[in-house]
Chains A and B, each alone.
Chain A
Amino acid sequence: MATVWNRISTLIRISIRYGDVIVVTLGALIALGYWISQRPQRHFDLALQDVERQDWAAVRRRAKALETSAGYFPHAQLLWGIAEIQDDQLLYAIEDLQAAMLHKETKPLACAYAGEAWFKLRQYARAEQMLLAAHAEAPNRVDTHRWLAALYYDTGAMGHSLVHLTKTAELAPTDPRPHRLIGLIDKDFENYEPAIVAYQESLRRAPQQPDREIVLLELAESQVRARQYSDALVTLSQCQESARRQVLEAECHFAMDGKERAKSVLADVLRQVPNRPDALVLLGGILLDEGDLTGAIRALTRCLAVDPLDYTARYRLGQAYQRQGNLVEATKHAKIAEEMKSLREEFAQLHHQAITKPHDAEIRYQLGVVARKLNRPDLAHNWFQAALALDPAHSAAAAAIQRESAAVGTGDRPD
Chain B
Amino acid sequence: MDEELTLEDVTTATGVSFVYRNGEEAGESTILESLGGGVGLCDYDLDGRLDLFFPGGGSLGPDQRIQGMTPALFRNQGDWKFASVSGPAGLEQPPPYYSHGCSIGDYDNDGFPDILVTGYGGVQLWHNRGDGTFAEVSRDCGIQDDSWSTSAGWSDRNGDGDLDLYLAHYVNWSFANHPHCPGPVPGQREICPPRQFDPLPHLALLSGGDGSFRDASQEVGLRTDGKGLGVVLADIELDGDLDIYVANDTTDNFLYVNAGGGRFEELGVIRGVARDDLGVANGSMGVDVCDFNRDGRPDLWAANYERESFALYRNEGAGQFLHVSQSAGITALGGMYVGFGSAFTDLDGDGDEDVLIANGHVIKYPRAAPLKQTPLVLINEKGRFRKTLHPPSGYFATPHMGRGLAVGDLDGDRQPDAVFSHTNEPAALLRNRTENQNRHFWLRLIGRESNRDAVGASVVLRTSAGDLLRQVKGGGSYLSQSELALHWGLPAECEVRGATVLWPSGRRQELSPKDILGRLVVLEPLPDPVE
Contact = CB atoms under 8 A, between A and B. Distances in A.
Contact of B320 (A315, A316, A323, A334): A323
A226 B270 contact: no
Q: Give the 6 A-B CB pairs with smallest separation, nearest first.
A: A315-B279, A193-B368, A227-B334, A227-B335, A323-B320, A226-B335
Contacts of B307: 190, 192, 225-226
Contact of A227 (B270, B272, B320, B332): B332
Given A226-B334, A227-B333, A289 B368 contact: no
Interface stretch (B65-73, B238-246, B323-331, B396-404): B323-331
B327 A289 contact: yes
Interface in A248-264: 254-257, 259
A192 B309 CA distance: 14
Given A191-B368, A192-B307, A291-B316, 20 more contacts: A193-B336, A193-B368, A194-B367, A228-B334, A255-B326, A255-B332, A256-B332, A259-B327, A285-B326, A289-B327, A311-B278, A311-B279, A312-B279, A315-B278, A316-B277, A319-B272, A319-B322, A322-B272, A322-B320, A323-B322
6 contacts: A192-B368, A226-B307, A315-B278, A316-B279, A319-B322, A338-B269
Interface centre among B272, B279, B335 (most CB of A within 10 A): B279
A280 to B, nearest CB: 14
B384 A257 contact: yes
A132 B336 CA distance: 38
B326 A289 contact: yes
B169 to A, nearest CB: 22
A374 to B, nearest CB: 14
Interface in B412-450: none
B530 interface: no
Contacts of B91: none
Given A228-B334, A254-B326, A193 B316 contact: no
Report whether over half of chain B's contact residues are helix, strand or loop; otherwise say mixed.
loop
Contacts of A193: 335-336, 367-369
Interface in B250-289: 269-270, 272, 275, 277-279
B269 A323 contact: no
B176 interface: no
A118 B261 CA distance: 69
Contacts of B335: 192-193, 225-227
A323 B316 contact: yes
Interface in A238-273: 254-257, 259
Given A192-B335, A227-B332, A256-B332, A289 B324 contact: yes
Interface string B287-330: 00000000000000000000101000000101010101011010
Contacts of A228: 334
Contacts of A254: 326-327
Contacts of A291: 316
A338 B309 CA distance: 22
Nearest to A196: B368
Interface string B486-524: 000000000000000000000000000000000000000
B250 to A, nearest CB: 10
Contacts of A110: none
Contacts of A80: none
Interface in A369-386: none
Interface string A315-347: 110010011010000100010011001000000
Contacts of B320: 319, 322-323
A194 B368 contact: yes
Nearest to A315: B279
Report whether over half of chain A's contact residues are helix, strand or loop; otherwise say mixed.
helix
A72 interface: no
B405 to A, nearest CB: 22
A124 interface: no
Contacts of B278: 311-312, 315
A299 interface: no
A285 B279 contact: no
Nearest to A230: B332
A97 to B, nearest CB: 32
Given A192-B307, A193-B369, A334 B270 contact: yes
Contacts of A341: 279
Nearest to A311: B279
B206 to A, nearest CB: 31
Contacts of A152: none
Contacts of B279: 311-312, 314-316, 337, 341
A227 B269 contact: no
Interface string A261-303: 0000000000000000000000001001101000000000000
A153 interface: no
A325 B316 CA distance: 12
Contacts of A226: 307, 334-335
A64 to B, nearest CB: 47
Contacts of A147: none
Nearest to A190: B307
A225 B332 CA distance: 11
A128 B395 CA distance: 52
Contact of B332 (A191, A229, A311, A338): A229
Nearest to A229: B332
B326 A288 contact: no
A41 B529 CA distance: 114
Interface string B29-56: 0000000000000000000000000000
A108 to B, nearest CB: 25
Nearest to B314: A289
Contacts of A322: 270, 272, 320
A230 to B, nearest CB: 9
A330 B331 CA distance: 27
Nearest to A285: B277
Contacts of A190: 307
A190 B331 CA distance: 16
B316 to A, nearest CB: 6
B368 A255 contact: no
A310 to B, nearest CB: 10
Interface in A66-81: none
A94 B385 CA distance: 64
Given A190-B307, A192-B307, A289-B324, A255 B331 contact: yes
Given A255-B326, A312-B279, A323 B334 contact: no
Contacts of B318: 323, 325
A258 B133 CA distance: 56
Contacts of A338: 269
Interface in A195-237: 225-229
Interface centre among A227, A315, A323, A338 (most CB of B within 10 A): A227
Nearest to A228: B334
A337 B326 CA distance: 22
Contacts of B333: 227
A193 B331 CA distance: 15
A142 to B, nearest CB: 22
A191 B335 CA distance: 11
A312 B333 CA distance: 22
Nearest to A327: B270
Contacts of A288: 322
A192 B327 CA distance: 22
B183 to A, nearest CB: 12
Contacts of B336: 193
Given A227-B335, A285-B277, A315-B278, A257 B329 contact: yes
Nearest to A319: B272
Contacts of B331: 227, 255
A6 B320 CA distance: 126
A229 B335 CA distance: 11
B379 to A, nearest CB: 14
